[in-house]
């Protein structure tokens, strides 16, 4: 029970800042709309602020635009139709269908379509056209969106914390996989190799969350002046993101062919497990250097040292699956070197000849 409570508290702590931002933005947007602009019931302002911020971060600039467009379409269609045909079940259904269809035909995203539909419902039920102007509601949505952005700029999360949290997961997946394949090969254990492969097949979610975290971090570093100095450090994670994705994909191929080689009783080079463990250690070093904000020179050197023995001549290998494994060893090296900031050409030149 205590563990469950602790887990829930930890989950709340991770979302406490965005929750606080959403609450503050909702209150401020209502205050601005009522006291500054003079609207009596600006319900769209706090709604827009909360939807703009949400509990999950990312794409707020676009979301503000989508909210305003969605409200405009929904209110516009609702005001025109309800004033002509009145309010009732079939009128509400018609208004929602037309408002959402208009949003889709305007090439809007999901947020625009949903906001158009919900705005049309509100116009058709709670606030019919006779009780308020559509333009006022559009202004309220804009106020909410802008206040949400202002709160983000003044009380921003640390973009590096967001990126580092997800990077730790991705880097951990790769190091665990590399060490797992190394142990499976050293112990001639096909069952363990199969387990590593099964885990790697679920790693794409972590990669996607890392990419989302970088997008969020980049947005925070752009909007919030006090976080501008973090953009350079965040750039190192952005440089590493795609190569790390490729490294996981190539390691997945490596694990699959290693499993096939073990099942076919192919003899793999004795030095292969050591090379893979060196890769895993290099990934750990890379994660540490990125967290410190350093240029990953040590990680780059560690990968180069590991790949120095990864040639066909030195590793050997006779069977088909083994040859594929050895080719993937070099491919992973290129990915890791690119993650340290090298271009693909520079990374390929760092490899020893076949």
Instruction: Give 286-350 as a DSSP string.
Output: HHHHHHHT---HHHHHHHHHHHTT-SHHHH---SHHHHHHHHHHHHHHHHHHHHTT--HHHHHHT
Output the CA torsion sign for 298, 303, 309, 311: negative
Residue 177 sits in the same domain as residue 31: no
Residue 194 lies inside a defined structural domain of this protein:
yes
Residue 354 lies inside a defined structural domain of this protein:
no
Picking from 96, 124, 154, the residue at the C-terminal end of a domain is 154
Q: Which domain holds residue 145?
A: 2-154
Residue 150 sits in the same domain as residue 163: no
User: pTM higher than 0.75, yes or no?
Assistant: no
The CATH number assigned to the domain holding 245 equals 1.20.58
Residue 314 sits in the same domain as residue 182: yes
Residue 231 sits in the same domain as residue 248: yes
Digitized pLDDT (tens) for each residue of the chain, 354 residues in all: 777 787 788 778 767 777 888 888 889 999 999 999 888 888 878 887 887 776 445 555 666 677 667 777 777 777 777 777 877 788 778 878 887 887 777 765 666 777 777 777 776 776 655 555 566 777 887 888 888 878 877 777 777 777 888 899 999 999 999 999 999 999 999 999 999 999 999 999 999 989 888 887 777 777 777 676 777 778 889 999 999 999 999 999 999 999 988 898 888 888 889 999 999 999 999 999 998 888 899 999 999 988 886 654 455 556 677 778 788 888 999 999 999 999 999 988 877 776
What's the pLDDT at 180? 95
Residue 214 lies inside a defined structural domain of this protein:
yes
Residue 122 sits in the same domain as residue 167: no
Residue 306 sits in the same domain as residue 173: yes
325-338 b/e with 16+ CB inside 10 Å = b? bbbbbbbbbbbbbb
Residue 189 sits in the same domain as residue 126: no
Closest CA to 340 of 279, 292, 276, 283: 283
Q: How many CA atoms lie within 13 A of 23 on its CB side?
A: 6
What's the pLDDT at 14? 67
What's the pLDDT at 55? 44
Q: Can you read off the two tokens belonging to residue 229? A: 């100095």
Tell me 83's DSSP state. H
Residue 152's SS3 state is: helix
What's the pLDDT at 64? 65
Residue 134 sits in the same domain as residue 63: yes
Residue 89 sits in the same domain as residue 197: no
CB 158 within 8 A of CB 229: no
What's the pLDDT at 288? 93
Domain count, the chain: 2
């Amino acid at each position: 029970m205590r563990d469950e409570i602790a887990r829930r508290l930890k989950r709340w702590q991770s979302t406490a800042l965005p929750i606080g931002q959403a609450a503050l933005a909702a209150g401020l947007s209502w205050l601005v709309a009522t006291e500054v602009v003079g609207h009596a019931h600006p319900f769209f302002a706090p709604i827009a602020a909360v939807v703009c911020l949400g509990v999950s971060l990312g794409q707020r600039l676009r979301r503000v635009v989508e909210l305003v467009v969605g409200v405009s379409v929904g209110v516009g269609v609702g005001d025109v139709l309800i004033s002509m045909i009145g309010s009732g079940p079939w009128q509400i259904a018609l208004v929602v269908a037309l408002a959402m269809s208009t949003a889709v035909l305007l090439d809007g995203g999901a947020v625009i379509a949903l906001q158009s539909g919900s705005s049309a419902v509100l116009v058709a039920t709670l606030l019919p056209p006779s009780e308020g102007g559509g333009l006022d509601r559009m202004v309220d949505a804009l106020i909410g969106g802008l206040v949400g952005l202002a709160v983000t700029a003044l009380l921003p999360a640390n973009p590096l914390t967001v990126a580092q949290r997800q990077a730790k997961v991705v880097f951990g997946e790769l190091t665990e996989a590399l060490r797992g394949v190394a142990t499976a090969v050293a112990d001639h254990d096909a069952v363990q190799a199969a387990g590593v492969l099964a885990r790697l097949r679920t790693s794409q979610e972590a990669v996607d969350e890392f990419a989302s975290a970088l997008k969020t971090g980049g947005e925070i570093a752009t909007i919030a002046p006090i976080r501008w100095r973090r953009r350079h450090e965040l750039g190192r994670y952005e440089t590493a993101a795609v190569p790390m994705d490729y490294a996981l994909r190539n390691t997945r191929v490596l694990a699959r062919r290693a499993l096939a080689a073990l099942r076919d009783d192919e003899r793999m080079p004795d030095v292969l497990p050591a090379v893979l463990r060196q890769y895993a250690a290099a990934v750990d070093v890379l994660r540490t250097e990125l967290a410190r904000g350093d240029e990953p020179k040590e990680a780059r050197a560690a990968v180069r040292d590991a790949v120095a023995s990864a040639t066909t001549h030195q590793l050997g290998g006779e069977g088909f699956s083994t040859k594929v494994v050895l080719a993937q060893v070099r491919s992973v090296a290129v990915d890791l070197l690119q993650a340290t900031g090298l271009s693909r050409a520079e990374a390929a030149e760092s490899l020893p000849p076949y």
